[in-house]
C-alpha cells in the first residue's frame, strides 16, 4: 500500500488486516523502529488526528519533522505540490495531510514518490477516523456483520459519516441515518435509510453522533443549539431507551449539550475516550502498512 487516502481503496481483507495489526499494537506488540522522515501538514485545526498520528509515528520510531503551514512558503503562494516536492527532495518519505479541499490528493498521488496519508479532506473522506471507529466497534462486539448502527447529526458536512457509511456497509452492518432533514445528504440512501432518532434508538447496537459543524452554519446562537439537542441530540431520556448492550460513539470534538448530553460523554456506555485511545493504534497500523 503506497497511499492511504480513502477507505474505498481498501478491500475487506485489507481492512481486517489493518484492524488485526491495530489490535496487536494495543495489546503491546513491539516493532523494530522505522527511522523514516515523516511530516504532518495540517491546513485545518486538529487535536485528536494530528496528535495521535504524531504519537503513532514516534511509537514506530519515525523522525517527525515539525511543519507549521502558517510559517511555510505556502503563505507566500507556493502550491501544495511544490511544498511536497521540496519535502520529498530533502528526504521525507511520507506525509499526513489535512486539507479543506475535497480530494486534494488526486493530482498529487501519481506525481510524487512519497506516500500520502489523508488526515481528512473537506467534507470528503476521513479514512483513519473510519478505521479507528471500526476497530472500536469490532473490539466491543467481535464483529461488524449484523449490527444495527445509527449515524446521526450533520451528515451533509461530515467526512467521517461518508467514510464510515461505506466501510460499515462493506463489513455487513445495517445502517440508519438521522438528524435534521436540512443537514441530510441523499447520497447516504446508498448505504441505509433515514429515520427519526426516536423511532430507531431502541433497536440500535451503536449510536454514533456527529459534531454539528457550527462554523459552516450561519445561525449559531445558543437557542439554536438548545433546540438541536432537544430535537435531534442524544438526551438522557433517549439514552435510557437504548439496549443494555448498546454503545455511544462520537468522532469528537464534542459539542456537549448539543449533539450529546454532557453527562453521557464519559458514561459507562460511551466509547468516546476509547475511540481516542484506539486512534493511536489504528494510525500505527496505517503508518506501518504505508512504509513497509
Q: Is 21 annotated as a binding residue?
A: no
Q: Is 214 annotated as a binding residue?
A: no
Q: Is 130 annotated as a binding residue?
A: no
Q: Is 98 annotated as a binding residue?
A: yes
Q: Is 113 annotated as a binding residue?
A: no
Q: Is 252 annotated as a binding residue?
A: yes
Nearest in space to 289 (alpha carbons), one of 22, 90, 8:
22
Q: Is 271 annotated as a binding residue?
A: no
Q: Is 49 annotated as a binding residue?
A: yes
Bridge partners of 260? Answer: 234, 256
Q: Is 126 annotated as a binding residue?
A: yes
Task: In whole angstroms, give the CA distance from residue 130 to residue 83.
Answer: 27
**Whole-number Cα distances in Å, 71 to 25, 51, 66, 78, 249:** 35, 19, 11, 12, 36
Q: Is 111 annotated as a binding residue?
A: no
**Rg of the chain's alpha carbons, rounded to an integer?**
19
Task: In whole angstroms, give the CA distance from residue 240 to residue 238.
Answer: 5
Contacts of 100 (CB under 8 A, 6+ apart): 43, 44, 121, 122
Strand segments (E) across the chain: 37-42, 63-65, 94-99, 115-121, 148-152, 174-178, 192-194, 206-209, 247-249
Question: Residues marked as binding?
Answer: 48-49, 76, 98, 126, 129, 159, 211, 252-253
Question: Residues marked as binding for L-aspartate?
Answer: 76, 159, 211
Question: Residues marked as binding for carbamoyl phosphate?
Answer: 48-49, 98, 126, 129, 252-253
Amino acid at each position: 500500500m503506497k497511499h492511504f487516502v480513502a477507505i474505498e481503496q481498501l478491500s475487506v481483507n485489507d481492512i481486517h488486516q489493518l484492524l488485526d495489526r491495530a489490535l496487536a499494537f494495543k495489546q503491546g506488540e513491539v516493532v523494530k523502529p522505522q527511522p523514516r522522515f515523516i511530516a504532518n501538514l495540517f491546513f485545518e485545526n486538529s487535536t485528536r488526528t494530528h496528535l495521535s498520528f504524531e504519537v503513532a509515528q514516534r511509537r514506530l520510531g519515525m523522525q517527525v519533522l515539525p511543519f507549521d503551514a502558517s510559517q511555510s512558503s505556502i503563505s507566500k503562494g507556493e502550491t501544495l505540490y511544490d511544498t511536497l516536492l521540496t519535502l520529498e527532495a530533502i528526504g521525507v518519505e511520507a506525509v499526513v495531510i489535512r486539507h479543506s479541499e475535497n480530494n486534494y490528493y488526486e493530482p498529487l498521488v501519481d506525481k510524487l514518490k512519497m506516500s500520502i496519508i489523508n488526515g481528512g479532506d473537506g467534507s470528503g473522506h476521513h479514512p483513519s477516523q473510519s478505521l479507528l471507529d471500526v476497530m472500536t466497534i469490532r473490539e466491543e462486539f467481535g464483529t461488524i456483520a449484523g449490527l444495527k448502527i445509527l449515524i446521526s447529526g450533520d451528515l451533509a458536512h461530515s467526512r467521517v459519516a461518508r467514510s464510515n457509511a461505506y466501510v460499515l456497509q462493506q463489513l455487513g452492518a445495517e445502517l440508519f441515518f438521522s438528524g435534521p432533514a436540512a443537514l441530510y445528504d441523499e447520497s447516504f440512501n446508498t448505504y441505509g435509510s433515514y429515520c427519526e432518532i426516536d423511532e430507531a434508538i431502541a433497536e440500535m447496537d451503536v449510536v454514533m453522533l456527529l459534531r454539528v459543524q457550527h462554523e459552516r452554519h450561519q445561525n449559531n446562537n445558543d437557542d439554536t443549539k438548545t433546540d438541536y439537542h432537544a430535537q435531534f441530540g442524544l438526551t438522557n431520556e433517549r439514552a435510557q431507551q437504548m439496549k443494555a448492550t448498546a454503545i455511544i460513539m462520537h468522532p469528537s470534538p464534542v459539542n456537549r449539550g448539543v449533539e450529546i448530553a454532557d453527562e453521557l460523554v464519559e458514561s459507562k456506555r460511551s466509547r468516546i475516550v476509547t475511540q481516542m485511545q484506539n486512534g493511536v493504534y489504528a494510525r500505527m497500523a496505517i503508518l506501518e502498512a504505508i512504509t513497509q
